[in-house]
């Protein structure tokens, strides 16, 4: 008698040879499968929406901050966010200029204004920036290349990505012609364009010189600035200069690196304002809704096949094997539901980007996060749904 030894199968071969009971049970009831996929896709769409809009909130409200051409930024101790910033004395800059390693220390003026849309004649709120014409305040090439156009009185650069109807205005200025508008009953001239985008705080941005900026705020002296932009000499460690600046500044002024300043601004919107909290809560609620939907589907499927599961137990299969069948269903549902959810989210992002003028787009990190949450959502639902299987008695079904 010859003993024939069968080669041991690897894990992949074992998975290929096994009967996909989970998938067979799911596709047997196609209406239920469609409901499950729709529910998971809807939950994914909600999570994509909440996370995407939250990211757009942070990005849009820190675009100017991230674009500042500075190594160190000083601000008032009462500073909260860029559009509601308290002022600080300009003389702080003169103190800083004497610190070794400092290349330049320039003022930046920022506030909100209401202007009249030249195209629709409607009033809207914009962020007004007054910057030095000799030292670029931002890293945006379109702004820096047009600073010479701001030397005349009441001349401004306009953000072509502002929220609203500006197609005619943008086309006219892009063709080399200026256009006139009105801010606080004062006529201004738009002489150039740049691309930035709207935010949750305002619909767009205007850039001009400090002199033009101060004409709209007669109660504000040139010595009251919003921020101080500090650049250090090449080869000098900004952190070392920052430590020396902090040593000479009084308590009414805060100095930080540019990244620390951006992080502070983002943390303000995330932790202090209700908007950031609402979107985080919305993501959690979308996860809970998806979990409930998947649990209902899997729980119903387990009840419908209780006799089959009892048969497996009578044949000697353990609860772990039955759990794997339900977990297989969970992973399949997560994968099938994620696809339509992602497709709808991409369309949703495009709509928000075009209508809301917000910097929203799909990122790989967000895609991976939502898919991971979807798998966890379905697996947790599957584990809860299999609790009944542990108490299933074959004798009760036959």
Q: What is the pLDDT of residue 5?
A: 44
Same domain, 187 and 47: no
Q: Computed from CA positions of residues 313, 318, 321, 327, in that sequence, does the dihedral angle turn out positive or negative?
A: positive
- pLDDT at 233 (0 to 100): 92
Is 321 domain-assigned?
Answer: yes
Query: Rounded distance, CA 128 to CA 202, Å?
Result: 10
Q: What is the pLDDT of residues 276-289, one digit of tens each?
A: 778 888 888 888 88
Claim to verify: residue 191 and residue 239 sit in the same structural domain: yes
Residues 82 and 230 in one domain: yes
Q: Give residue 197's pLDDT.
A: 85
| 199, 218, 250 - which closes a domain | 250
- Domain end, chosen from 250, 282, 302, is at 250
With beta carbons less than 8 A apart as the criterion, state whether 193 and 157 touch. yes
Q: Are residues 191 and 332 in the same domain?
A: no
Band of residue 34 on the pLDDT scale cut at 50, 70, 90: confident
Average pLDDT over residues 28-53: 87
How far out from the chain centre does Cα 123 lie? 28
Regarding whether 147 and 222 lie in a shared domain, the answer is yes
Reported as a pLDDT band with limits 50, 70 and 90, residue 14 is very low
State the Cα–Cα distance between residues 245 and 242, nearest whole angstrom: 5
Q: What domain count does the chain have?
A: 2
* 261 located within any domain: no
Per-residue pLDDT of 145-167, as tens digits, reads 999 999 999 999 999 988 888 88
The pLDDT value given to residue 313 = 65
Clarify whether residues 96 and 237 are in a common domain. Answer: yes
**Shared domain check, 287 and 183:** no
Neighbouring CB atoms inside 10 A of 97's CB total 12
Q: Does residue 8 lie within any of the structural domains?
A: no
According to the model, what pLDDT value does residue 138 have?
93
pLDDT at 61: 83
Q: Are residues 284 and 236 in the same domain?
A: no
Q: Print the domain residue range for 235.
A: 78-250
- Mean pLDDT within 11-33: 64
Per DSSP bridges, beta strands 123-131 and 102-116 are antiparallel
Does 15 have pLDDT greater than 50? no
Helix H segments across the chain? 11-17, 21-28, 30-60, 63-66, 91-97, 141-144, 167-174, 210-214, 238-248, 258-267, 274-304, 306-314, 319-356, 364-385, 387-390
More confident residue, 227 or 62: 227
Question: Do 284 and 223 belong together in one domain?
Answer: no
pLDDT (0 to 100) of residue 159: 93
Q: Which two three-digit tokens encode residue 119?
A: 């195209």
Can you give the pTM of this predicted structure?
Answer: 0.77
- Average pLDDT score, the chain: 84
| C-alpha span between 202 and 3 (Å, rounded) | 81
- 225 and 280 fall within a common domain: no
Give the pLDDT confidence score for residue 280 in this predicted structure.
81
Per-residue pLDDT at 388 exceeds 70: no
């Amino acid at each position: 008698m010859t003993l024939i030894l069968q080669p041991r199968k690897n894990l992949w071969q074992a998975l290929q040879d096994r009967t996909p009971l989970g998938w067979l049970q799911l596709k047997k009831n196609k209406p239920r499968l469609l409901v499950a996929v729709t529910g998971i896709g809807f939950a994914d769409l909600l999570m994509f929406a909440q996370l995407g809009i939250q990211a757009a909130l942070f990005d849009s409200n820190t675009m100017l901050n991230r674009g500042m051409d500075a190594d160190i930024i000083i601000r008032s101790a009462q500073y909260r966010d860029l559009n509601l910033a308290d002022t600080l004395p300009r003389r702080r800059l003169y103190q800083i200029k004497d610190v070794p390693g400092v290349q330049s220390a320039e003022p930046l003026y920022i506030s909100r204004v209401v202007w009249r849309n030249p195209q629709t004649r409607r009033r809207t709120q914009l962020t007004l920036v007054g910057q030095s014409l000799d030292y670029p305040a931002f890293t945006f090439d379109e702004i820096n290349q047009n600073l010479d156009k701001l030397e005349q009185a009441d001349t401004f650069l306009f953000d072509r990505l502002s929220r609203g109807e500006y197609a005619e205005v943008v086309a006219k200025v892009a063709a080399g012609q200026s256009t006139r508008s009105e801010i606080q009953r004062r006529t201004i001239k738009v002489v150039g364009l740049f691309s930035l985008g709207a935010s949750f705080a305002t619909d767009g941005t205007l850039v001009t010189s400090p002199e033009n900026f101060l004409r709209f705020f007669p109660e504000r002296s040139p010595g009251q600035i919003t921020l101080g932009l500090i650049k250090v000499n090449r080869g000098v460690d900004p952190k070392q200069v920052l430590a020396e600046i902090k040593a000479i500044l009084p308590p009414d002024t805060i100095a930080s690196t540019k990244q620390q300043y951006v992080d502070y601004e983002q943390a303000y919107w995330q932790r202090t304002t209700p908007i950031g909290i609402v979107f985080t809560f919305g993501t959690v609620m979308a996860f809970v809704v998806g979990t409930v939907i998947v649990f209902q589907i899997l729980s119903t499927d387990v009840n419908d096949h209780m006799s089959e599961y009892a048969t497996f137990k009578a044949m000697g299969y353990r609860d772990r094997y039955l759990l794997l069948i339900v977990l297989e269903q969970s992973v399949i549902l997560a994968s099938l539901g994620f696809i339509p959810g992602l497709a709808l989210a991409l369309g949703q992002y495009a709509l928000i980007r075009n209508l809301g003028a917000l910097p929203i787009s799909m990122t790989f990190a967000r895609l991976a996060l939502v898919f991971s949450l979807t798998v966890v959502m379905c697996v947790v639902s599957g584990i809860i749904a299999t609790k009944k299987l542990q108490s299933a008695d074959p004798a009760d079904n036959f």
